[in-house]
Amino acid sequence: MLRLFQTNKIRKVEELEGDWDFQPIKQSEELPSDFNYRMPVPGCWEMQPDFLTYRGQGVFRREIDVPTNTSVRLNFKGISHTADVYFDGKRVAHHYNAYTPFTAVIPNVKPGKHIILVRVDNSFHEESKLHFANDYYTYGGIIRPVGIEYISDAFIERIQFTPYKNSNGEWQGNIDVIVSNTGSQNEEIELKGIFEEESISFESKRIKPNETVIFSAAKNFPDVKAWSHLDPQLYFLEVQLYKSGQESPSDDLIERVGFRTVTTLNGKIQINDEDIVLKGFNRHEDHPMVGAAFPYQLMVQDVDLMIHMGANSVRTSHYPNDERFLDLCDERGIFVWEENHARGFLLSHMQDPKTQQQCLACNKEMVFNHFNHPSIIIWAILNECASNTLEGKELYREQIEQIKEMDQSRPVSFASHHREHELCFDLADIVSFNLYPLWYTNEDPGELAEKARQWADELGGLGKPMIMSEFGGDGYYGLRDPNNVRGTEERQAEIIEKNLAAYTSSPFISGMYIWQFCDCRVVEDTGWLLSRAGTQNSKGIVDRYRRPKLAAEVVKKYFKIPIT
C-alpha cells in the first residue's frame, strides 16, 4: 500500500511489493549477476537470519513486464540509507537518506521485460552525514513501499495546496500544480481541477522538453468544513492533464487535503484561531519484528495506542515519516510535528558542507512531499545540534529560511538542549526545550519549566509559544522494585508523573512530547552502552513490542484531562 487513498484514476500505478532477489556485495564490487537470497520489499534486511546486524551493501533485483510503449516513473518511498537505481543496467537515480522519498523517470520504455537493480548501502562512512552510530538504528534495505507509474511525456509531479481564510473568515485555497515534460517536443498543456464535482480552471501553458512548470489557481471554498483534531474532515483534490487538442486526459493526480490554519499568537499555538496544547509522544519508526519497515497494521496500532493514552500529537523524531503514517494522522486528527533528519550534530559536524547540503536536500524532500498533510502543523530541524554557537546559528538560519521559502503556512521550530546558552530562539516561531529533569538532572520539573520560559524570553523567544519537546527517563519493561530505583517501571512512572503534573498546569506551555513512545533499537558503537543496556533506548512508555509500562496509566491520567 503506497498511500491510504487512491492517488490516480488515469495514470496507471502498481506497487512493486513482494520478494526481490538480493545479494550482499562489497563496497567496490561490481553489480552481481548471481543472487542467492530473496528479500521482502518493503523490508529491513536485519529481519533476515543471515543479516541480523549486517552493515554494508546489497543489491536488490526485480524483473518487470511493461505492457506498452510508455515512460515510467519509479517511486521509492524510502531506501536505507543510500540507493543507486539501475534500469536495464543504466543508472537512473542516486539518493541519500533513508527517510525521504525520491523518483526516477525513464522515458520511452519498450514493451516487454526489464530489470530494476537497486544498490543499497547502510554503512557509516564519510559521505553519510545524517546516518551514523546514533541513539536509534539505521536499518538496511528498501524500507518503504515502491511504486511504478506509467506516465505520459508530460505528467503531474505534485500538487501543493495551501488553505487560508479571507478577511470575512471564508475558506480559500491556493493550488499549485507542478508539471514536467520528459519528452523531446514542446507540449501545450491544459489542466482541469476537480473539487467535490466543481471544476477549477488553470491557464494553459506550453512546456518545453525537460522543463518543469507551475500552474497556479486560487479558489473560494464556501461549503467546506474545517479539519480539526476532533473532526478531521478531508477532501479530494483531483487534477487532470490534457495535451492540446485531446479530448481525454492523459495524466492525473489526486491529493487529499484539509482546511485548517496554524498560527502562533500571544505565546500560544492556534489551529483555526483556537488555542491548543499539544500532548503527545516522540516516536521512532521502529519495531522488533519489522525494523523501520512498518506494515499498515502496526502503524494503526501505534496511533491507536497513542490515542488510547490521550495524546493529540506526535513528533516524528528524528526524521520525516512514512507517508502512510502521515495519512493516518490526517484521518485520525493527530497533530504532527515533523522534523528533518538530524540528531546531535556537533559544530564540527555541522560545518562540513556535506552535512548542510544533506540537510537542505532532506528539508526540500520533506516539505515538497508532505506539504498537503493537514495534520502536519510544525516543521522542525536539527534536533540538539550546535545552536549555541554563532557559526551553528548561520546554518540554522539558512535551513529555516529555506523552509519558509517553501512554505509560509506553518510555524518552524527546533528542539534545543542548550538551556541558557541557546542562540537561535529568535529564528524560530516556537521555542522548544529538550530537558530531562529527574533523569539527567535532579531539578524540579515545574521550577525548570519556569526557568526555561525565562531563558526563552531573554534569548529571542519573548512572546513565542513554548514546547517541552523531550522529557522522560529509562524504565526497563518488567523491572520492578518497591524502592523505585533508577531504571524500574516505578521510577519511570514517577518521573513522568512529576513532569506531566508540572507541564499540564503551566499556562505558558503550549505542548509536551514525552521521550518516547516506544523503546527503540540503537546502534551499538555509540559509546553510551552503560545507559543503553540491551542496545536499546528504554525510555518508551510502551516497550519495543508495545506492551505498556506502568507509566502508561500516568500518561492516560494527565493527557485525558482537557488543558485550557
Q: Which is nearer to ligand ADA, 44 or 435 (CB)?
A: 435
Contact residue for ligand ADA among 71, 82, 488, 537 (CB under 6 A): 537
Judged by CB under 6 A, does residue 384 bind ligand ADA?
yes
Q: In this structure, is the dihedral angle defined by the CA atoms of residues 434, 137, 337 and 299, taken in order, positive or negative? A: negative
CA–CA distances in Å: residue 498 to residues 438, 448, 551, 558? 9, 12, 11, 10
Q: How far is the CB of 495 from ligand ADA (least distance, A)?
A: 12
Residue with cell 514517577: 494
CA-closest candidate to residue 217, choices 259, 255, 161, 158: 161
Contact 517, 472 (CB under 8 A): no
Contact residue for ligand ADA among 513, 515, 517, 559 (CB under 6 A): 515
User: Chain centroid to CA 3: how far?
Assistant: 14
Contact residue for ligand ADA among 383, 432, 499, 510 (CB under 6 A): 383
Q: How far is the CB of 474 from ligand ADA (least distance, A)?
A: 8
Judged by CB under 6 A, does residue 546 bind ligand ADA?
no
Q: How far is the CB of 355 from ligand ADA (least distance, A)?
A: 17
Q: Which is nearer to ligand ADA, 71 or 138 (CB)?
A: 138
Q: Which is nearer to ligand ADA, 499 or 537 (CB)?
A: 537
Instruction: Please report, as a single letter, which amino acid is at residue 535.
Output: T
Q: Report the side by side order of strands in the sheet with 154-165.
A: 154-165, 171-181, 212-220
Q: How far is the CB of 522 from ligand ADA (least distance, A)?
A: 8
Q: Which is nearer to ligand ADA, 261 or 537 (CB)?
A: 537
Q: Which is nearer to ligand ADA, 135 or 252 (CB)?
A: 135
Q: Which of residues 303-362 bind ligand ADA (CB under 6 A)?
A: 343
Q: Distance between CA atoms of 192 and 200, rounded to whole angstroms?
A: 6
Q: Which is nearer to ligand ADA, 371 or 436 (CB)?
A: 436
Contact 202, 193 (CB under 8 A): yes
Residue with the closest Cβ to ligand ADA? Answer: 135
Q: How far is the CB of 332 from ligand ADA (least distance, A)?
A: 25
Q: Distance between CA atoms of 427 and 424, rounded to whole angstroms?
A: 5
Element (H, E) at 449: helix 445-456
Q: Which of residues 108-127 bind ligand ADA (CB under 6 A)?
A: none
Q: Distance between CA atoms of 184 and 166, rounded to whole angstroms?
A: 42
Q: Which is nearer to ligand ADA, 7 or 434 (CB)?
A: 434
Q: Which is nearer to ligand ADA, 196 or 525 (CB)?
A: 525
Q: How far is the CB of 468 from ligand ADA (least distance, A)?
A: 11
Q: Which is nearer to ligand ADA, 215 or 515 (CB)?
A: 515
Q: Are strands 415-416 and 262-265 parallel, antiparallel or unpaired?
A: unpaired
Buried b (16+ CB within 10 A) or exposed e, 451-473: bbbebbbebbbeebbbbbbbbbb
Q: Which is nearer to ligand ADA, 151 or 500 (CB)?
A: 500
Q: How far is the CB of 279 from ligand ADA (least distance, A)?
A: 19
Q: How far is the CB of 278 from ligand ADA (least distance, A)?
A: 17
C-alpha cell at 181: 515534460
Residue ranges with strand state E in 2-44: 12-15, 18-25, 37-41
Q: How far is the CB of 436 from ligand ADA (least distance, A)?
A: 7
Q: Which of residues 32-61 bind ligand ADA (CB under 6 A)?
A: none
Q: Distance between CA atoms of 367 and 379, rounded to whole angstroms?
A: 8
Q: How far is the CB of 298 from ligand ADA (least distance, A)?
A: 21
Q: Which is nearer to ligand ADA, 241 or 496 (CB)?
A: 496
Instruction: Please report, as a single letter, which amino acid is at residue 144.
Output: R
Beta bridge partners of 279: 512
Contact residue for ligand ADA among 470, 489, 494, 519 (CB under 6 A): 470
Q: How far is the CB of 549 from ligand ADA (least distance, A)?
A: 15
Q: How far is the CB of 285 from ligand ADA (least distance, A)?
A: 13
Q: What is the DSSP string of 500-539?
A: HHHHHT-TT--EEEES-SB-EE--GGGS-GGGSGGGEE--
Q: How far is the CB of 144 from ligand ADA (least distance, A)?
A: 21
Radius of gyration for the alpha carbons in the chain, expressed in angstroms and rounded? 24
Number of residues in contact with ligand ADA, rule: CB under 6 A? Answer: 10
Q: Which is nearer to ligand ADA, 528 or 545 (CB)?
A: 528
Contact residue for ligand ADA among 62, 539, 546, 549 (CB under 6 A): 539
Q: Are strands 511-514 and 278-282 parallel, antiparallel or unpaired?
A: parallel
Contact 481, 490 (CB under 8 A): yes
Judged by CB under 6 A, does residue 499 bind ligand ADA?
no
Q: How far is the CB of 381 from ligand ADA (least distance, A)?
A: 13
Q: Which x/- pattern, by CB under 6 A, does the window 429-458 give for ligand ADA?
A: -----x------------------------
Contact 334, 303 (CB under 8 A): yes
Q: Distance between CA atoms of 538 and 532, rounded to whole angstroms?
A: 7
Q: Which is nearer to ligand ADA, 41 or 522 (CB)?
A: 522
Contact residue for ligand ADA among 21, 121, 135, 339 (CB under 6 A): 135
Virtual torsion, Cα 22, 24, 26, 30, nearest 10 deg: -20
CA–CA distances in Å: residue 532 to residues 272, 316, 527, 535? 42, 21, 9, 5
Q: Which spans of this chain sit near ligand ADA (rule: CB under 6 A)? A: 135, 343, 383-384, 417, 434, 470, 515, 537, 539
